[in-house]
Amino acid sequence: MTNNAVLTLRASLNEEIFSYLDLLLPDYDEQVKAGDLLFLLSQKIDCNNRINAELEAMAKTLYDYWFVQFDFPDANGKPYKSSGGKMVYNATLKREIPVGWEAKCFAELGSFKNGINYDPSVGGSSTAQIVNVRNVSATSIFIKENDLDVLNLDQNDIDKHLVTSDSILIARSGIPGATRMMAHCPPNTIYCGFIISLKVANPDDKLFLFFRLKQIEQSLLSQSSGSILKNVSQDTLKEIRIAMPPDGVRSVIEAFNTALNPIFGKLNSNHQENQKLVQLRDWLLPLLMNGQVTLA
């Protein structure tokens, strides 16, 4: 198409050009076989996406039930609040929370850092993969590791902005407040300047804090009035409050992690499988269409 483009002020294509371009295609039977195979791959990807949507809804419902309604399992395995668990009004949160719990701000629970701002023309001797806002917007929980841009930077700059297993990534712009994480962090994976990283102080709190931030994300998406996050910055994130169990009684967070681990395990498994299926589909398509590969 490039070679046949009309060279005026700007190269362009028109109907006439398309009318005499030759396309080399496999015979009809091969096209049908290729289409059937690609359709099956797409069906499997769609099925995994539907399963993941249900799993994400289950995880959110569990968080809401346990930590918004405070019906987490009590010592007898019964819903705490519904079974008469003692509640007390908290002036900071402006709501009742379980006795012994306290309101903590995110600044007490982890450290925030803005992503890297870099000049791509400068380069460096080390290779890194970078999470951009488009990677955040392409998913709802896990960043796709196979869709990250690659760039060369100085290793010192890379080390200052690494994504780790304890990191939660929050978009500053594009889709402000969008909260994601990475199931696996390839070496030298960093995040851009339009993203803020929260490195949780206690790794056991990661999922608990992640879903609190997802609440904020949903609030912004729905444009609810009175949202505590008008502009996403470190200062506003640090001031977010959350009801936390006392340090000596963390069994409810441990139980929450235990309940979510199989859900997140399946989510991640489907996520990884879809990445491989997409790679397989994109690799097979040109081979099938130019006859390098045939199907029995």
C-alpha pair distances (Å), 18 with each of 29, 115, 218: 25, 46, 46
- SS3 (DSSP) at 26: coil
Are 191 and 130 in contact by the 8 Å Cβ rule? The answer is yes
C-alpha pair distances (Å), 1 with each of 7, 18, 20: 12, 8, 11
Residue recorded with tokens 């979510």: 260
State the pLDDT at residue 63. 96
Are 227 and 219 in contact by the 8 Å Cβ rule? The answer is yes
What DSSP string runs through 136-190? HHT-SSB--GGG-EEEEE-HHHHHTTB--TTEEEEESSSSTT-EEB-SS--TTEE
**d(C-alpha 203, C-alpha 212), whole Å:** 15
**d(C-alpha 132, C-alpha 137), whole Å:** 9
Domains of the chain are 24-91+247-296 (1.10.287), 102-244 (3.90.220.20)
State the pLDDT at residue 246. 87
Cα 186 to the chain's mean position, in Å? 15
Residue recorded with tokens 């690494």: 162
pLDDT in tens, the chain (296 residues): 666 655 555 556 677 777 777 777 778 888 888 889 999 999 999 999 999 999 999 999 999 999 999 999 998 999 999 999 999 999 999 999 999 999 999 999 999 999 999 887 788 899 999 999 999 998 899 998 888 999 999 999 999 999 998 899 999 988 889 999 998 888 999 999 999 999 999 999 999 999 999 998 887 766 544 444 456 899 989 999 999 998 777 899 999 999 999 999 999 899 889 989 999 999 988 888 777 877 77
**d(C-alpha 287, C-alpha 179), whole Å:** 38
State the pLDDT at residue 185. 85
Residue recorded with tokens 């069906």: 43
In the DSSP assignment, the letter for residue 48 is: H
pTM of the model: 0.81
Would you say the C-alpha torsion 124, 127, 131, 134 has a positive or negative sign?
positive
Q: What share of the chain is helix, strand, coil (3-state, %, to 5)?
A: 40, 20, 40
Are 216 and 240 in contact by the 8 Å Cβ rule? The answer is yes
Q: What are phi and psi of 279, to 5 degrees?
A: -60, -45
**d(C-alpha 78, C-alpha 9), whole Å:** 74
Q: Which two tokens stand for residue 71?
A: 């019906």
Q: Which two tokens stand for residue 157?
A: 């700059």
Residues 6+ apart with CB under 8 A from 240: 105, 106, 212, 213, 216, 228, 229
State the pLDDT at residue 33. 87
State the pLDDT at residue 227. 47
Would you say the C-alpha torsion 215, 189, 131, 236 has a positive or negative sign?
positive
State the pLDDT at residue 225. 42
